[in-house]
Structure 1
Amino acid sequence: MDRGFPRRDFLRSASVAGAALGGWERLGLAAGAEEARVRPDLVRLRPEIEPVVRWIEETPRDGVFEKAVAELKGGLSYRLLLGGLFLAGVRNIQPRPVGFKFHAVMVINSAHYLGQSAPVSDRLLPLFWALDNFKNSQAKDVAEGDWSLGPVDEARVPKPHQAKEAFVRAMEAWDVDGADVSVAGLCRAAGAAEAMEPLWRMAVRDQRDIGHKAIFAAQSWRTLQAIGWEHAEPVLRCLAYAMLDHGNDKPVPVGPYEENLRNASKIGPDWQAGKPDPAATIALLEALREASPEEASAKVVEMLGQGIAPGSIWDAALLFAGELMMRNSGIIAVHATTAANALHFIYGASGDETTRKLALLQAVGWQPLYRERVKSPTPVKIDAITEETAASTGPEAVERIFDAVGRDRARAAAETIAYLTRGGSPLAVFDTASKMIFRKATDSHDYKYGAAIWEESLNVSDPRWHPRLAAAAMYYLPGARKPDSPLMIRAREAVSGVLG
């Protein structure tokens, strides 16, 4: 693997984007022989995407918006722009450690997710922001050694019937070279769902890098559903390489994985047949305020054995992540939510029962790890937020919430609960939050957290918790009083040139 990597990390959404943006689903670029020529030390991408990736890679940062506008006007589809941007990051940005500049890759699906619910006039803004973010990360990568994803060592790729077993064996042994060639073989030999199963298992294994391995796995799958599974091989190679990072530590998982493997075997066959129980959610939420990772995970086994529905357990993990945001709205609290969101997605995407149990156990067991790193002199409780009096449930109430975000986040949270519990529109809050991100975001976490918290708050198992999760988001989201980002002002001007 070291020979290939360093030179010195379902289609519905795409069809919605294409329908909303007119004829953008036309594949407006064809690769000529010269355009498709790739340096021998770089992985070769598919011919329809290679020229898109090349201009994203080669265009200077200060001219990339103008180049994108010209390509879109020339017939480039939304899906090819999305795919080109994602694959440019996969090919050019070092995925170790999994985070930092590699957010240029991990943020792509979050930007896409938020953009799909936006008005047509705003739908391209997240991708233009991500273009600039990629160019920034690309420059950092060059300065730090100019990593790139190299070609596969074809002579070592296992036979199709041996690829899955070889990949599992390599990943369990933290064997980078073996994992690279075997994941390439697995991708070629198996369908999408089958190929992802061993990757899901490895994604839930290790909390190292504050949960980014699970986040990268979920974001990879979700982005591939938008751009096409045919682009999967370089993505899964990059993902496997990232998941085997252990820094200067011993190659063992961080967190309660080994204990949770044992816990998973204790969970009975009818574990998904339990009944929702909001009291159990509160009990687990209370336990998470003091429990160790192992104690929290054992509590999950106990609750499932008592006939508690998994959804009630998920609600507790997500509520506690929101509570950590209320305690200290920093990077650790952001990842308490985004990692829980990734594990929740893996829980729904995997077809393997043990992996699904592990995703649930790890989602709960990781929260104490985040808790111990969130420093807060005055702990608060998400289930004890006092409602403010809501004057109305109209648009002016939502405007008042986001104005309060810029002055008093606790008040904004209380007003959010009052608005939603009195029948206010969750989508109105979501749309306004997205608009704030589109205009004021300055960091990948604005997109990652915004997408994760709204997905979970809108799809929470028990609707009574939706206002609480939405309220927690007010401790991090940009408010109306924050100045618009100069970059996003430029992006809006560029997008108007495409749509005008």
Structure 2
Amino acid sequence: MNVRRRRDFLADVGRGMLVASIGSAATLELGLVKSFAANIDDANPDRLTFGALEPLVALMQETPAEKLMPLLVQRLNSGVDLKTLVSAAALANARAFGGQDYTGFHTFMALAPALQISQELPAARRALPVLKVIYRNSSRIQEQGKNDHDTLAPIEAHAAPDPLLSGAQLRDAVRAVDWQRAESQFAARVAASPEDAFNDLQFAVEDENDVHRVVFSWRAWVMLDLAGEEYAQTLLRQSVRYCLDVEQRMHEKNYPESKVRELLPRLLDEYKLLGVKLGTREADDQWTEQLAQTVFTGTHEEAATAVAAALAEGFDPEAIGESLSRAANLLVLHDPGRSVGSSAPNKPPGCVHGDSVGVHASDAANAWRNIARVGNRRTKIASLLVGAFHTAGQHGYVTDQRFPYAEQLAALAAVNDGDKLIVETEAAIKSNDQARACALIDRYGQLALPPEPVFDLMRTYAVSEDGALHAEKYFRTVTEEYATTSPTYRWRQLIALARVTASEHGYAAPGYQQACELLRIS
């Protein structure tokens, strides 16, 4: 897998995707020299530094968020682009947290989606989603005292491992919680080839049923096309450290290992998946929906086994991935809402935004699909198997029947005015009426009206609301999955987005209002 393939893929998934705005000259525009070294400055060997981006990275790490925003707007007005701001914010986050802070890695995962969203906004508003997430980034750095204390330090590359065994060796080092061996071995692989290192990383990512593990890995990979591959070690290393951190806590608290550790190699062997050519067999809507229902209602093992059989029968991996996405979408549509016992000030009873079963499953399925698309043959197969395992087994958290809005939908049967439906949807969002928002968007879809007004409305609130750390990511997930789902089923994605948007309204994103004032927009 080469860089061109990755960029081609990213440019093609959904509208307004990230790479469409950067092209192959990204590193030259940033004034950087291509190198896969460890980002060490000879003058300051004990700290990771980032070349031409270092002054901006340091500014973001050291400056309180309220003071940072005016400085960033000044830089935008002087010609610095949003891509450069996002790149610097990602590197500041990586150096500060090293993949080991909950809010920190959530913020990192929101940076690329924020930039992607910015490309879809009018020129005057494009900086808003980026400034919003950078405000969150710098606030968290200050809260955790990372403005003058780094988590991520330089690492010396170990002797390069055998390429045929390096993925398994990295996984074994993580299982042993051997930080030095895992990080130094990974550094050597990145130095040789970021693409090969990313495929090695998946051996560790696949080891646990963990949404952050897979989404973090994918978002770090996407960030390479922003900051430049010379920062691949810093960006991808965070994911290794996340896996190590989780494994260490599992050992300390005697948590059981995921059964996927035994199931994945067994399915690969039983169905001889590593020895067969990946198929291109087309799947119709009935087949993909049947597989989606198997994943939605089945156990972890049943879903993974069904996907193994589909791969062995030669079905197109893209069709299998679509089924995973649709199963995750059903979890949003069947979610009964947050219980009183699991509620929080920004996640009240009945809400479905933030770390809900459906939003998490959707973001994870999206990441598994994307990793399967860009990874090597083994990564493609394993990602779909583990993605099925990950998405399944959650039917017990949702209801058998879809979230009830049938009565509201029936009452809209005579409404054929798309503009009116959009206006009323916004009113439903503002009143947190999930059922009415679902019904209105469902009716809009029944009329086969263009989706752009729906995306435009939902995007507004993906930018303005906090979403309990998930607004940007979930909006991008829906955008991408809508673009790659069969027309028969794609509208479900927008109904789910309407529900989540109505759920998250009223919890404004910190820094959003200041950004509006600095940009002189309402």
| Alignment deviations for residues 347-382 of structure 1 (CA, whole Å, 9 cap, x no partner) | 111122x2211111122111234444x3x4x44338
| Alignment pair present for 1:249 and 2:250 | yes
1:58 offset after TM fit, Å?
A: 1.4
Question: Mapping of 1:44-123 within 5 angstroms?
Answer: 44-45=49-50, 47-96=51-100, 99-123=102-126
1:396 aligned partner, one-letter code = K
- Label 1:295 to 1:391 Cα distance change in 2 as closer, same or farther (>3 A): same
Is residue 381 of structure 1 aligned with residue 412 of structure 2? no
CA contact (8 A) 1:111 1:447 kept: yes
Structure 1: which amino acid aligns with 2:330? E
In the alignment, structure 1 residue 296 sits paired with structure 2 residue 300: no
Which secondary structure state, in structure 2, belongs to the residue aligned with residue 491 of structure 1? helix
Counterpart in 2 of 1:286? Answer: 293
Work out whether 1:199 is the aligned partner of 2:163.
Answer: no
Name the stretch that deviates more: 323-332 or 449-458: 323-332
For residues 197 and 147 of structure 1, what CA distance do their matches in structure 2 show? 27
**Is it true that 1:470 corresponds to 2:484 in the alignment?**
no
Per-residue deviation, 1:220: 0.8
Separation of aligned partners in 2, 1:349 and 1:252: 31
After superposition, the Cα gap between the structure-2 partners of 1:211 and 1:139, relative to the gap in structure 1 and judged at 3 Å, is: same
Distance 1:75 1:366, change over 3 A: same
Number of corresponding residues: 465
Tell me whether 1:428 sits opposite 2:453 in the alignment: yes
Matched-pair contact (CA < 8 Å) for 1:203–1:243: yes
Residue 228 (structure 2) aligns with? 228
Report whether the alignment pairs 1:131 with 2:148.
no
Map of 1:392-407 to 2, 5 A cutoff?
392=416, 394-405=418-429, 406-407=431-432
Contact 2:458–2:497 under 8 Å retained in 1? no
C-alpha RMSD of matched pairs (Å): 3.3
Shift of 1:225: 1.2
How far, CA to CA, are the matches of 1:408 and 1:342 in structure 2? Answer: 29
Closer, same or farther in 2 for the Cα pair 1:189/1:397, shift >3 Å? same
Match of 1:4 in 2: none
In structure 1, how many angstroms separate the alpha carbons of the residues matched to 2:422 and 2:21? 27
Aligned residue for 2:385? 361
Give the aligned residue type for 1:113: Q
Task: Kindly provide the amino acid, as one letter, of the partner of residue 273 in structure 1.
Answer: T
Q: CA deviation at 1:115?
A: 1.6
Question: Does structure 2 retain, via aligned residues, the 8 Å contact 1:126–1:438?
Answer: yes
SS state at 1:443 partner: helix
Are the structure 2 counterparts of residues 41 and 167 from structure 1 closer, same or farther at C-alpha, using a change threshold of 3 Å?
farther
Residues 461-493 of structure 1: CA distance to partner in whole angstroms, max 9, x if unpaired?
x22111112111222114797475563121122
Greater CA drift, 283-292 or 318-327: 283-292
Structure 1 residue runs without a partner (length 5+): 1-9, 20-24, 30-35
Taking structure 1 as the reference length, the TM-score comes to: 0.82
Q: Is 1:177 the counterpart of 2:202 in the alignment?
A: no
Counterpart-to-counterpart distance in 1, 2:223 and 2:466 = 21
What's the secondary structure of 1:152's corresponding residue? coil
SS of the equivalent of 1:42 reads: strand
Offset of 1:449 from its aligned partner?
1.3
Which ranges of structure 2 fall in alignment gaps of 5 or more residues? 1-6, 12-16, 33-40, 338-351
Alpha-carbon distance in structure 2 between the residues aligned to 1:52 and 1:366: 38
Distance (whole Å) between structure 1 residues aligned to residue 473 and residue 312 of structure 2? 34
Select between 412-421 and 60-69 the one with higher mean Cα deviation. Answer: 412-421
Partners of 2:208 and 2:257 within 8 A in 1: yes
Which deviates the most, 396-405 or 78-87?
Answer: 396-405
Give % identity.
21
Paired residues of 2:328 and 2:362 also in contact (CA < 8 A): yes
TM-score (norm 2): 0.79
Residues 143 and 91 of structure 1, relative CA distance in 2, 3 Å threshold? closer
